[in-house]
Structures are given as structure tokens and as C-alpha cells.
Amino acid sequence: MSKQICLIEGDGIGPEITQATQMVLQRLAPDLDIVRAEAGLAALEKHGELLPAETLEKIADAEAVLKGPLTTPVGKGFSSINVALRRHFDLYANIRPVESVPGTRARYENLNIITVRENTEGAYLADGQSLSDDGELAESRIVITRKGSERVIRHAFELAQNLGRKKVTLVHKANILKTTSGLFLHTGRKVAEDYPSIEFEEMIVDNTCMQLVMNPERFDVIVTTNLFGDILSDLCAGLVGGLGMAPGANIGEKAAIFEAVHGSAPDIAGQGIANPTALMLAAAMMLDYLQIDRAGDQLRQAIRQTIEAGDCTTADLGGQGNTLEFTQAVLSRL
Ligand SMILES: NC(=O)c1ccc[n+]([C@@H]2O[C@H](COP(=O)([O-])OP(=O)(O)OC[C@H]3O[C@@H](n4cnc5c(N)ncnc54)[C@H](O)[C@@H]3O)[C@@H](O)[C@H]2O)c1
């Protein structure tokens, strides 16, 4: 029976990179039933709301979702639709792998780091945000729970075990944030006892930033809270040639949303020059999740070969190709 996925184009470069990714998906998994839905600015235009009920229903009905980036205004305006989706479907684990590929602007060879970011709690949510009337005092609340920490840390260990990885590094700031970051750390120490074959390491977030820049080869799987994971995963993307190379998966018990780590890149939107690699790599993660035999590996291999050959790579990777030319070069290898 064919599997149903929901495709959300998103804003900015979203339509360009989702179209490119749909082309490779149709080649690799022609039986996939692709249902389209709108969210973000496109939904606002068509339905008068940023996240229509119809979209939520389509996501709930699909086995997985492939989503383009969604714009969130800075400092004012509406709250993030991404955060709303993660909360609505309780997508507690955000998996962000990076791998260095020759032919990119990667700073290091042979990096293969997976960041597992807690996705539903913590400072990133900015719960209870307020600004005093005189504009002199801003506040927000940080909530961390044992349950939320345990499920994501366990997810990281299970992932490490299934992929034959050797080490999980828990990143925290429990020396200063003794209660919130402390609860995450103490929960991690307990969970680690259940996985004696995997090395468990603890590291303070500021040191982690330095170590990632100077000695990134020492990292394998990183697990951390929401805001630290947001920042560290972009740092990891920078190590392997930039945001154009970094995919992500938001996983919950009942839904899974696959996307690029990068945003809607308004500075290059509509020019046909965006790098579709990150979304294609997210699609490969989705094909793994859907257990479509070997399709994810085939896609990763075709992308790797295309980039290594310098065949029509986009400007962010130092090449001169555009979105469509790069996509055709990948298609020719499938
Ligand atoms: N998951 C998401 O939907 C998501 C993630 C991050 C940011 N955003 C939103 O995206 C908007 C823009 O954010 P930003 O400018 O801080 O970050 P961004 O990731 O959109 O862009 C940062 C820089 O990277 C470049 N870039 C990003 N993706 C690229 C690609 N595929 N190919 C080539 N170059 C690429 C951009 O041109 C820009 O110079 C904001 O509204 C933000 O809230 C959405």
C-alpha cells in the first residue's frame, strides 16, 4: 500500500527547494502519495490564518511531513509556526545530523555529528514572555521537566545504539542554571546507566562551543536542551560547509516533520539559486523513517557524488550552479 506524506512548501526559498526535493522523491519513491498543505505566509494569504485546521488534519493523517522553512518576524509580530507545530504534535526530539563532504566549504574532513535537541521545553519557548509598560524590564520563564528530559535523552541513546555510535555527550549549563539545566543533567546521568556500552560524557555549553570549533572529531552524538541545541546545531552546520548542508527531523510518538535546519533565506528567495541539499537530506531521513528500502541511502549517495564532483553546486558551496541544475545532476545519479 502506498504511504502518504504531507508536503508544506513554506516561505521564501521554500517553494524552490521543495519543488527540487519533490522531483527526487518522485524518482526514488514513485508510489509515495503526496498531499499538499499550507502553513505560514502562504496559508495566511489563502486561508486567512498561519496554521489552518485543515493543515493540522493533513499532518495528523500523513505518515510523515516534509516541510519547507517558515518565516518568523524578529522581535515583534506573530510567534513561530515551527514552535506551534512542534508543540501541537509533541515532536519532542529534533535530530540534526551533519557530515562533511569533500567539495564543500567544510572546515574539517570526516565529521559525522548528530545533535539531538529537546524540542518542546526550555528557554527557547520563551514561555510567559512579558515586557513592562515602560519597556525597562523583560521576563520569560524556563520550564524543564524530568519526563521531557528523559524521553529525549533516551531517544539519543537509542539512536546511538541503533546506528552503532560510540559516545553521547550531554551539553548543559548546570554550573549556573542549577535547577533547569541541573535537572536535565541529573536525568541524563540516570538514563546513561541503562546504556553501559555507550560512553557518556558531560560538557558545559560554552566549552562545547570551543571544543566544536577546535576539536570537532571528538564528538559523536550530542544531546541537549532546546535553546543550546538550536545554537549548537547551526555551529555544526557551519563546520560542514553551512546551513545549505544541514537536515533535521522533528520526531514525536504520533507525527514526524522533516525539514532543513536553515530558514526561509529571504535575501535569495525567488532567484532559483538556493541550495536544496539540506531539504533533500531531510527527505532521505524521511525515507529511512518510512522504511522505504534503501531509498534514503541512494539519495544521500547521489547528493554526495554530485557535490564531490563539483557538478552544478550552488554558490553557498562555492559553485556556480543553480537549484534546478543541481537537482538535475542529482537526478542523473539516481
Ligand atoms: N525551520 C524553519 O522554518 C526556520 C529555521 C530557521 C529560521 N527560520 C526563519 O527564516 C527566516 C530567515 O532567517 P535567517 O535569515 O536568520 O536564516 P536563514 O537560514 O534563512 O539564512 C541565513 C543565511 O544562510 C543563507 N541560506 C540559508 N539557506 C540556504 C540555502 N538553502 N541555500 C543557500 N543559502 C542559504 C541565507 O541566504 C542567509 O544568508 C526568519 O524568519 C526565521 O525565523 C525558519
pLDDT by residue (tens digit) across 53-97?
Answer: 999 999 999 999 999 999 887 777 777 899 899 999 999 999 999
Q: How far is the CA of 23 from the centre of ligand 1 (A)?
A: 22
Q: Which of 13-27, 76-90, 237-251 has the highest mean pLDDT?
A: 13-27
DSSP-derived 3-state class of residue 167: strand
220, 230, 311, 316: which is the annotated catalytic residue?
230
Please give the pLDDT value at position 2.
Answer: 86
Regarding the beta carbon of 180 and ligand 1, being less than 6 Å apart is answered no
Please give the pLDDT value at position 325.
Answer: 97
**Interval 180-184 mean pLDDT:** 97
Output the residue whose Cα is nearest ligand 1's atom 2.
69
Architecture category of domain 107-111+118-239 in CATH: 3-Layer(aba) Sandwich (3.40)
**Does 107-111+118-239 match 1-97+244-334 at the fold level?**
yes
Domain ranges of the chain: 1-97+244-334, 107-111+118-239
127, 206, 293, 297: which is the annotated catalytic residue?
206
pLDDT at 115 over 90: yes
CA angle 267, 312, 327 (to 5 degrees): 80
Please give the pLDDT value at position 38.
Answer: 94
DSSP-derived 3-state class of residue 268: coil
Please give the pLDDT value at position 143.
Answer: 95
Region class of 291: left (phi > 0), else alpha (psi between -120 and 50), else beta: left
**How much of the chain exceeds pLDDT 90, in percent?**
85
Q: How far is the CA of 260 from the centre of ligand 1 (A)?
A: 9
Phi, psi of 52, deg, nearest 5: -65, 155
**Interval 143-166 mean pLDDT:** 97
Round to whole Å and give the CA distance between 163 and 114: 11
Q: Report which of residues 213 and 2 the model is more confident about.
A: 213
* Residue from 105, 117, 243 to probe ligand 1 pocket by mutation (most atoms less than 8 Å from CB): 243
pLDDT at 220 over 90: yes
Nearest to 77 by CA among 40, 124, 26: 40
**Interval 16-38 mean pLDDT:** 96
Q: How far is the CA of 158 from the centre of ligand 1 (A)?
A: 30
* Residue from 21, 104, 262 to probe ligand 1 pocket by mutation (most atoms less than 8 Å from CB): 262
DSSP string over 254-307:
S-EEEEESS---TTTTTSS----HHHHHHHHHHHHHTT-TTHHHHHHHHHHHHH
Task: Report yes or no on whether pTM surpasses 0.85.
Answer: yes
Please indicate whether residue 230 is annotated as part of the active site.
yes
Please indicate whether residue 11 is annotated as part of the active site.
no
CATH superfamily of 1-97+244-334: Isopropylmalate Dehydrogenase (3.40.718.10)
Flag the least confident range among 40-49, 58-67, 138-147, 277-286.
Answer: 40-49
Please indicate whether residue 297 is annotated as part of the active site.
no
pLDDT at 217 over 80: yes
pLDDT at 141 over 80: yes
pLDDT tier, 299 (very low <50, low <70, confident <90, very high otherwise):
very high
Regarding the beta carbon of 72 and ligand 1, being less than 6 Å apart is answered yes
**Interval 25-30 mean pLDDT:** 95
Mean pLDDT rounded to a whole number for the chain: 94
pLDDT at 274 over 80: yes
pLDDT at 328 over 70: yes
Q: How far is the CA of 262 from the centre of ligand 1 (A)?
A: 4
pLDDT tier, 1 (very low <50, low <70, confident <90, very high otherwise):
low
CA 267 to ligand 1: nearest atom: 37
Please indicate whether residue 234 is annotated as part of the active site.
yes
CA 67 to ligand 1: nearest atom: 3
CA angle 95, 90, 74 (to 5 degrees): 75
